[in-house]
Structure 1
C-alpha cells in the first residue's frame, strides 16, 4: 500500500504533540492535587507564631499562623470589586505592627459597599492596642481583573489590587512577604466567610481529555485516509 510521506509525518507529529500535551496536563493536575492535600493538612495543623524574623512565602503559604501586635489604621487599603453573595463590597487590608518588630499585612475581611456613594466606606471598628490575630498565610489579599496600573498609585485608599512588595516600598514598612487572611473574630463587624482556595485541577483534567481526544481524532483521520488511498490504489483502472 502506497502512502504519502509528508501527510503521514504531519499526522504522526500531531498525534505525538497532542498526546504529550495531554500527559503534561495530567502531571499538572497531579501536582495541584498534591497541593490541595497540603492545604488541607496545613489548615488542620497547629497555628505557627510569626514574629519579626522574615519568613519566605514558600515556607508559610496556606499555613495557619498567629501574630501579636497592633493595627496601623491610617495606612488601610480597601480592595474594590470583591463581591460576597452577589453583593458588591471591599476587602479591608491593613498593616499590622508586630509586637517584636516588623509588619505584616492583614486581610481583615469583607465590607459591603455604600450603595448611595461608592467612595464612602461603611463603618467598621478597629481594635486599639495590642491584640492577637489568627489566620491563613496567603500570597496576596486576592486578585481581581485590572486594566493598567490604576490601583497602584501612592496614597490611594481604594484600589483594585495590592502587591505586597510594592506596598512595602511605597510605605517604607518592613513587611513580611505574605498576607494573613484573618479568621479570628475581634468584633469589628467584618465578614470572614473566605472562599476555599481552588487550584483549578478540573480544568487540567478537561484539557487532558481534549488533547487526547485530538490525538485520537488525528489517528482516526490518518487511518481513514490510508484506507481510502488503499481502495483507490486497488480500484479497477488505477
Structure 2
C-alpha cells in the first residue's frame, strides 16, 4: 500500500498538538486543585495584620487579613451589576485608612439597586472613627463583563469594575495591592454572603477530555482514510 505522506503528517501533527494541549489542561487542573487546597487551608489560618508595609499580592491573596483604621467614605465606589439571589445590586467598595499608615480598598458588601432610579443608593451606614475589620485578601472586588472601559471611567461613583492600581493612581492613595473582602459584621446594613472562590478546575478537565477526544477522532479518521485508500488501490481496474 502506498502511503500518502502529506495527509499522514498532517494527521500526526493534529494528534501531537491536541494530545499536548490535553496534558496542558490537565496540568492546569492540578495547579488549581493545589490552589483550592491552599485556599481551604488559609480559611482556617490566623488572620494576618495589614499595615503600612506593602504586601505582595501573590503571597497574601486568599489569606485572612485584619486591618485597624477608619473608612474614607468620601471616596466610595459602587460596582454595578453584582446580583445576589437573582436581585441586581452593587458592591460597596471604600478605601480604609490604616492606623499604621497607608490604605487598603475594602469590599464592604452588597447593596440592592433601586430599579427605578439607578443613581439612588439604598441607605446603609459607615462606622465612624477607628475600628477593626477582618476579611479575605482578593486580587480585586470581582470583575463583571463590560465593553471597553465606559463603565469603569475614573471619577465615576458607579462603575462596572475597579482596578486597584488604577484607582491608586486616580486618588493618589498609597493602596495595598489587594482588596479586603470584608467578613466581619459592622451592623451597616450590607450583605456579606460571599460566593466561595471558584478556581474552575472542572472546566480544565472538560477541556482536557475535549482535546484528547479530538486526538482520538483524528486517529480514527486517519485509519479510516488509510483503509479506504488501500481498498481503492486493491480494487481491479474495470
Counterpart in 2 of 1:175? 175
Counterpart in 2 of 1:198? 198
Q: Over aligned residue pairs, what C-alpha RMSD do you find?
A: 1.1
Counterpart in 2 of 1:126? 126
Counterpart in 1 of 2:90? 90
Per the TM alignment, residue 232 of structure 1 is displaced from its structure 2 partner at its CA by 2.1
* Aligned partners of 1:97 and 1:103 also within 8 Å: yes
Counterpart in 1 of 2:21? 21
Per the TM alignment, residue 226 of structure 1 is displaced from its structure 2 partner at its CA by 1.3
* Aligned partners of 1:151 and 1:162 also within 8 Å: no
Counterpart in 1 of 2:50? 50
* Aligned partners of 1:68 and 1:132 also within 8 Å: yes
* Aligned partners of 1:82 and 1:89 also within 8 Å: yes
Aligned pairs, number: 238
Q: Distance in 2 between matches of 1:151 and 1:106?
A: 20
Residues 88-167 of structure 1 correspond to what in structure 2 (within 5 A)? 88-167=88-167
* Aligned partners of 1:154 and 1:170 also within 8 Å: yes
**Structure 1 residue matching 2:132: 3-state secondary structure:** strand
Q: Which runs of 5+ in 1 are unaligned?
A: none
Q: Distance in 2 between matches of 1:86 and 1:208?
A: 32
* Aligned partners of 1:152 and 1:159 also within 8 Å: yes
The answer to whether residue 205 in structure 2 is matched with residue 226 in structure 1 is: no
Counterpart in 2 of 1:186? 186
Per the TM alignment, residue 115 of structure 1 is displaced from its structure 2 partner at its CA by 2.5
* Aligned partners of 1:93 and 1:106 also within 8 Å: yes
Q: Which runs of 5+ in 2 are unaligned?
A: none
Per the TM alignment, residue 30 of structure 1 is displaced from its structure 2 partner at its CA by 0.8
TM-score (norm. length: structure 2): 0.97
Structure 1 residue runs of 4+, over 6 Å off?
Answer: none
Deviation readout 1:98-145 (Å, 9 max, x if unpaired): 011110000000000112311100000000010000000000001111
Counterpart in 2 of 1:73? 73
Task: Identify the range of structure 1 (2-11 vs 180-189) with the bigger mean alpha-carbon deviation.
Answer: 2-11
* Aligned partners of 1:69 and 1:98 also within 8 Å: yes
CA 153–222 in structure 1, closer or farther in 2 if over 3 Å, else same: closer
Per the TM alignment, residue 2 of structure 1 is displaced from its structure 2 partner at its CA by 1.4
* Aligned partners of 1:111 and 1:190 also within 8 Å: yes
Counterpart in 2 of 1:41? 41
